[in-house]
Amino acid sequence: MQSLIRPICLVGSRSIRPLGACCPTAMPDSVRTRNCSDSKTISVNQVKSRAQEAAKAHNTTFGFEKISAEQKKNLVKGVFDSVASKYDLMNDVTSFGVHHCWKDYLVERIRPIPGQQLLDVAGGTGDIALRFLKQAKINGLRLGIRSEQDTKATVCDISTEMLAVGKARPGVPPEPHLTWLEGDAENLPFESEKFDIVTIGFGMRNVTHMDRAMEEAHRVLKAGGRFFCLEFSHVDNPVLSRIYDLYSFQVIPVMGQLLAGDWKSYQYLVESIRKFPSQEVLADMIREAGFKCVSYENLFNGIAAIHVGFKL
């Protein structure tokens, strides 16, 4: 089935825009590279100003509503506890299944191998972690690496209910291969330099202080580790943008009410996408957190984007 949907999801729908440096030996061939000087046409102070302004603006919003930063964590937890039982179904329906393609492609870019340790922040019901473990096994067989005992994935999420749904999925690997842990992206309950890869998929826009979450991701990564952020982003086609807005605001909340009995939560999720920083600003913020060789790749003309940074 995957071979049938991949061309629809990926071919002709990506645009690649590396910002600053990329590491040629660690990135896919399709991503253009530049040297690791991170040279830019704007000054360092301008980068800092843009990143700080974006973080400040996002810290005080819950969708389109302005709130204090202290309120957001509990409100976000309430949203995901509320929709947890229908979350995977709603993702399938509202994205027409395309979110599976994006997550598959994310894991392809990670290129997991046996022995690596993944932390999936805001990992919810475990979509990315399960894909990581499966692909690590496949890649290990291709490379002639038979041992999988040291391959581990950890799902960390603020929502107890989302984690409970994930644990109840059929065929979930036992601990220590897959660990589920309630935790805050801004204060991760892990020692420094523990993980090879940190991912956050469709969760960054729900974080109160994105700069802190990125700094925490940097802290828990080993030297040479990689950070991947898959998130809804800014559409770069005016016609598609209008269609996307119409669908998002007029259809998705209605589906939320019909399928999950929750209009407000899906209205928030739609609004939170529109308040999220642009691809360029998010890349600047990832650099400010200490990551190097930062790049991003648009999916579906910017409906979603994958940002990548390295801890060097």
Over residues 223-235, the pLDDT tens digits come to 999 999 999 999 9
Output the pLDDT for position 16: 40
Query: C-alpha angle 17/214/18, rounded to 5°?
Result: 10
Output the pLDDT for position 45: 59
* Torsion-angle region of 268 (φ positive above 0: left; ψ -120 to 50: alpha; else: beta): alpha
Classify domain 2-310 by CATH number. 3.40.50.150
Within 10 Å of residue 36's Cβ, how many Cβ atoms?
Answer: 15
List the binding residues for S-adenosyl-L-methionine.
Answer: 125, 157, 184-185
Output the pLDDT for position 49: 57
Average pLDDT over residues 235-246: 95
Average pLDDT over residues 165-193: 96
Residue 147 burial class via C-beta count within 10 angstroms: exposed 0-12, middle 13-18, buried 19 and up: exposed
Which pLDDT tens digit goes with each residue over 56-110?
544 558 889 888 888 899 999 999 999 999 999 999 999 999 999 999 999 999 9
Output the pLDDT for position 68: 87
Min mean pLDDT across 43-52, 142-151, 271-280, 294-303 is at 43-52
Cα–Cα distance measured from residue 109 to residue 254, given in angstroms and rounded to the nearest whole number? 34
Q: Is 300 helix (H, G, I), strand (E, B) or coil?
A: helix
Within 10 Å of residue 245's Cβ, how many Cβ atoms?
Answer: 13
Cα–Cα distance measured from residue 55 to residue 46, given in angstroms and rounded to the nearest whole number? 14
Average pLDDT over residues 162-191: 96
List the binding residues.
Answer: 125, 157, 184-185
Output the pLDDT for position 101: 98
